[in-house]
Each structure stands twice: as C-alpha cells, then as structure tokens.
Amino acid sequence: MKAFLIDRYTKGGTLRLGTVPEPELREHDVLVQIHAASVNILDAKIRNGEFKVILPYRLPLILGNDVAGVVVRVGSRVRGFKPGDEVYARPAQDRIGTFAEFIAMNEADVAMKPQNLTMEEAASLPLVALTAWQVLVERANLKKGQKVLIHAGSGGVGTVAIQLAKYLGAHVATTTSTANVDLVKSLGADVVVDYKKDDFEKVLQGYDVVLNSLGKDTLEKSLRVLKPGGKLISISGPPDAAFARQNGSGWLLQQLMGLLSSGIRRKSKRHGVSYSFLFMTANGGQLGKITSLIEAGVMRAVVDRVFPFQSTNEALAYAETGRAKGKVVIAVK
C-alpha cells in the first residue's frame, strides 16, 4: 500500500511517499480502507521529534492521527464491527498511521461514522472531538451555568469544544482573530475576544474552566480569568507528572515532567486554582457518544480545506500556518 512516512525526525521536513506492506491484523483489530484522514499539529510535532522521549516510535513511521473509512476485514475476536461498516477513529498513540491506504486498529478505539457526515467531515473530528470531550466532560466535569474560556476558538479543537460546551449548558467565551468572529459566534460562543484588539485577561473574569491550546504567555495570563477553585487545563503543555504516570513513564521521566510544569503549578496554587496537562487518548466508546451528538445536530464538523492524498505534504504545511478555520483534511480514496 502507499503511505507517507518519516525516516528520521526532522524539524520542518517533508514526508516520503513510499510503498509498505498492509498492516497485520490482530485478533481484536479491524482493518480499515482509509477514505479520508485529517491533519493535526500533533503530526508536525511528531515529525519534528518533539515527542520522541515520551512516544518512542520505531522509524520509519507512517504519520496520521485521524481516519474515516470502511472496514474490509476483522480479527477473529472482533464482535462490534463487520466488513462494509463505515467507521471513524483516532488510533491508539502507539498505532498511528492514517496517511496511508489501510490501517489496522483495535476495535475498542473505533466508532461507527455519523450517518449525516461525509468521509472527509468525519475524518476531521476524532482527535479534536475526543480532546474536547476529555477536557470538558472528564477532566473539568463542566456543569450547566459554569463559565468556560476556550482559547483559539476557530481552530480544530476550539470549533468542537465551543459546541460541546454549549451543549453542556456552559457560558462560553473564546479568543480568535477579527476574521473568525462570525464563525465562532455561529458555533455558540457567548463572548468573543478579538485578540488583535483586546487582552482577554482584562476583559474576562470569574471563569470556572480554561481550555488552553496556546503558548506559555497565554497559559499564565489565563490564571487571571479563573475564580478560586477554577481549573486551567492545557493540551499544549507543559506536561506534568500525572501525565507521565498515565503514560507509563519511569520515575526519572515523571520527575522531569514535574520539573517542566513546576512554574505554572506554583503560580496556579498562588491563584487558588489547579493546573493539569491533558494528552488525549483513543476511545471508541466516547467517540460513539460524540456520534450521537453529531447525528442529533448538536455538533457539526468545520472543514477548511480538503487536499488530495498526493498533496499530503502541502496539507501538513497549510495546517502548520495556524490559519485554518477548523480542520485540514486529506482525501485518500
């Protein structure tokens, strides 16, 4: 099969189009013919080698963390899926590789594709929708009437998180640029801070939760909008010791992660709020719940551009500009 791979970690490097064997099917696996995949900043960070300490991949590596396609074969112990099923997924982090014609995944990580979405729309959602779910539902336990600030509202995670937070009954604020104000309002944002005109930390106060996907400055400023007891949850770092333990890292790496996040944790404590880092995990059960919300019209996919499979490098470069509204998708089949 054809696939886009990296042979070594290179900052800003291009992916190599190569021919590789079809993936082996384990007893709990489904083999999926990939119709569409989407691009995430995570793909660029893996290519750049930013995660090589905590995600020790064997090279060469096929990149890609989102998939929509059709099941073509199932393992001997698979009970939830059959050939012909239209599915979507975020593969487990040790089994990524959706910039290819086929992928094998554990059925526990897979869900039926929403019937009201195209393959391209469905492929745009798993990683960002699961991230939003795991931050807002699991980690933040967001309740009706609470106030949440979602940074970068027009990005991949932001567009989904705004919709999910509104469904949960929260009052939603977001930051975005002038060009995307109308988009985030259409997704349900109650308060929109145009970062080109205003400083969000001067405009917002008394928030219960902040979802941060930006850099260190934004992270620290976010402390000022939270009320005592509030939660600052970051998906862009710095990682903490709790994440290292969850990831099965050894004692030394746990200490290192604790050190990396010690500054923001100290500042959070002074503000009377908590800080935690979240690295989303594959979860077919949660994705099934997200499917129900999409089919009920609660959430929709936001796709900026669709690139053909042979233009995967261009798709990744476009996603890296940070200017995409929603997601960048690759049509594989």
The Cα 257–Cα 247 span in angstroms is: 11
**Residue 49 sits in a domain of what CATH number?**
3.90.180.10
Are 112 and 16 within one domain? yes
Are 104 and 132 within one domain? no
Predicted pLDDT of residue 198:
94
Q: How many domains does the chain have?
A: 2
Predicted pLDDT of residue 157:
97
Q: Residue 292 domain-assigned?
A: no
Residue 125: φ, ψ to 5° = -105, -40
Q: Residue 172 domain-assigned?
A: yes
Q: Which of 187, 151, 168 is nearest to 289 (CA)?
A: 168
Are 97 and 208 within one domain? no
Structure confidence by residue, pLDDT tens digits, 145-154: 999 999 999 9
Are 14 and 46 within one domain? yes
Q: Residue 283 domain-assigned?
A: no
Q: What is the full DSSP assignment across 11-54?
A: TTPPPEEEE-PPPPPPTTEEEEEEEEEEE-HHHHHHHHTTTTTT
Predicted pLDDT of residue 232:
98
Are 240 and 319 within one domain? no
Q: Residue 69 domain-assigned?
A: yes
Residue 284: φ, ψ to 5° = -65, -30
The whole domain housing 223 covers 127-277
Are 271 and 323 within one domain? no
Q: Residue 72 domain-assigned?
A: yes
Q: For residue 245, what pLDDT band results from cuts at 50, 70 and 90?
A: confident
Structure confidence by residue, pLDDT tens digits, 188-229: 999 999 999 999 999 999 999 999 999 989 999 999 999 999
- Average pLDDT of 112-137? 98
Q: Residue 305: helix, strand or coil by DSSP?
A: strand
**Residue 170 sits in a domain of what CATH number?**
3.40.50.720
- Average pLDDT of 288-303? 98
Q: For residue 11, what pLDDT band results from cuts at 50, 70 and 90?
A: very high
Q: Residue 202 domain-assigned?
A: yes
Q: Residue 75 domain-assigned?
A: yes
Q: Residue 286 domain-assigned?
A: no
Residues 6 or more apart whose Cβ sits within 8 Å of residue 318: 39, 305, 307, 324, 328
- Average pLDDT of 287-298? 98
Are 211 and 151 within one domain? yes
- Average pLDDT of 158-166? 98
Question: Is 90 exceeded by the pLDDT of residue 41?
Answer: yes
